Structure 1
C-alpha cells in the first residue's frame, strides 16, 4: 500500500534500528520508559529467522533520510496463533504511529495491511489488546470494526512474566 506521503510494506532486517527507536518512543508514551525494551539485534534475530516469532509491516516515509537510512513513521507487529474455537488467528501484538504522523491515514493503512495478510492466510479472527486509558486508540479500533471483548464477552487477560513463568515451571 502506498500514498504520496508513505509506503506500507513488510519490515526488512535493515528496519530494525528504526523499529527499536519507535518501540522506545512507544514505551515512553505508555509510561513504561523505565522497563527494558527490545534492541535492534533482538528484533532482527526474532523476526528474520527460519521460524520467526513475529512479522511486521512498517510505514516508510520516502525521501526523508539524508544518510540513506529509511525513516519510519510507525509499525504493526503481528504473529499467527490458533484457537480451538475458530482455528486460525492473527494476533496484532504491537501497533504504533508516531504522534507527529497521525491523521494522515498511516494507522488505518497499517491495520488494513495486517488484516489483508490475515485474510490471505485464512485467519478467522484478529485479536489485540489496548490500554484502558487510551481512549484515542479505543475509538480508532471501534471505528474500524473492532469489538471490545472485555466488555462484550467478559474475558480477562492473564499473563506470567519471566519470573513467574520460571517459578511455575520449577526451573
Structure 2
C-alpha cells in the first residue's frame, strides 16, 4: 500500500467569471514559484518548520536522468495567462493492485476555488495516469479538512484508513541516517542480500498472496504474476531478497521498495512490502532489512522512509516504533484515500 500527501487549503471564495484553463508540464524553471506555494500551504497548516525541501533539491528532480515526478500547472487560457493551480504526482506500485498514480499535492489558487477546477485537475491527471499504465490513484488528507473530504468523496474516493484501517508510518531523516550508518548485527544464520529480477516474479507473487492472507485482505489482490514480472523487468520497482549465506541457500525474506517524492522533505524511500519467512522471525532479520534499505536509500539520495501498516498488527507496530518510526496517522491525523479502478477510468473519460 502506498502513502501520499494531498495538502488542500479549500475555502469557498466569491464567484467570479470562470476562465478557460490550459495545462502545461512544469519544469525546473518553475521550482522556486512552486516551492513558495508549498511553503504557503505549510504556513497555513502551521507546519512551515517541517519544510526542509530546497529549491535546488526540487529542481534536481526535473533534471535527473531518473526523473519520476510530474508537475502539472494550470493557467488561464489567455494572452496574459495567470496561475490557477498545480499538482505533483508520479506512478508508484502496489503489491495488491499493481501500477497506480500517487498524488502528492493538489493546490488551487484561492480566487479560483469553487469553479470546478479541482475536478478538472483530477480528470487531466487520470488521463495522464492511463497513458502511463496506471488505473487507480492514491493520496492522503486531513479528516478535519471537511471541504476537501467532501470533494474527494463526491468523486467516488474511498478513505481506506477508515475502511481498511491502514496507518501511515515514517522514519525521520535523523533516524533513517542513523540506521543506515549503524553496524551490522551478527545473526545466525548469516544472510546475504541480492537484487531480485523478473526471474523471481513467480516466487515473490506467491509470497505477496500469502502476506495478503495473513492480513485477511487476499480479496483485494488484483495484481497478476505477469504484471509483477513486467515491472521488475522494466525496473519500475525494486525487490530486495534475503537468503541464507550458504551453498544450499534458503529464502529468508523480501522487500518491495521504490523512491518517491514528498513536497515537504524531498526524495524518500517507500517500503511497499516487508516479509520475513515464518521460521526466521524473531531473530533480528527485520532490523537487517531496515539497515539495508536505509543504506540503499541514502545511496539514492533519499532522506527518510515511509510505509503503511495495520494498527492491530501488534508485532509489526512494536518493531517499527522500537526503531524510531512515527505513526503519522496517530500523531498528525493523516488519512489515506484512493480512487478505485472503475472510478479512475470513468473520470479519465469524462
TM-score range, shorter chain: 0.7 to 0.9
Alignment of structure 1 residues 107-126 onto 2, 5 Å: 107-126=118-137
Shift in alpha-carbon separation, 1:61–1:34, aligned structure 2, 3 A: farther
Alignment of structure 1 residues 156-167 onto 2, 5 Å: 156-167=167-178
2:152 aligned to which of 141, 145, 155: 141
Task: Report the more deviating stretch, 54-63 or 142-151.
Answer: 54-63
Matched, 1:91 2:102: yes
Task: Report if the CA contact (8 A) 1:76-1:111 is conserved.
Answer: no
Q: Give per-residue Cα distances to partners, 1:99-143, cap 9 Å, x unaligned.
A: 222112222222221111111222132110101221111111111
Alignment of structure 1 residues 48-87 onto 2, 5 Å: 48-62=63-77, 71-87=82-98
Shift in alpha-carbon separation, 1:63–1:32, aligned structure 2, 3 A: farther
TM-score, normalised to structure 2, is 0.44
Partner residue, 2:44 = 29
2:53 aligned to which of 9, 31, 38: 38
Shift in alpha-carbon separation, 1:170–1:123, aligned structure 2, 3 A: same
Unaligned stretches of 5+ residues in structure 1: none
CA distance in 1, matches of 2:30, 2:43: 20
TM-score, normalised to structure 1, is 0.84
Task: Report if the CA contact (8 A) 1:57-1:113 is conserved.
Answer: no
Partner residue, 1:152 = 163
Shift in alpha-carbon separation, 1:156–1:74, aligned structure 2, 3 A: same
Cα drift, residue 23 of structure 1:
0.9
How many residues matched? 165
CA distance in 1, matches of 2:89, 2:42: 18
Instruction: Give the secondary-structure state (helix, strand or coil) at the position aligned to 1:159.
Output: strand
CA distance in 1, matches of 2:79, 2:143: 34
Partner residue, 1:105 = 116
CA distance in 2, matches of 1:64, 1:44: 27
Which has a greater percent of strand? 2
CA distance in 2, matches of 1:43, 1:104: 30
Shift in alpha-carbon separation, 1:99–1:113, aligned structure 2, 3 A: same
Unaligned stretches of 5+ residues in structure 2: 1-17, 183-350
User: Which of structures 1 and 2 has the larger relative contact order (alpha carbons within 8 angstroms, sep 6+)?
Assistant: 2
Cα drift, residue 34 of structure 1:
2.8
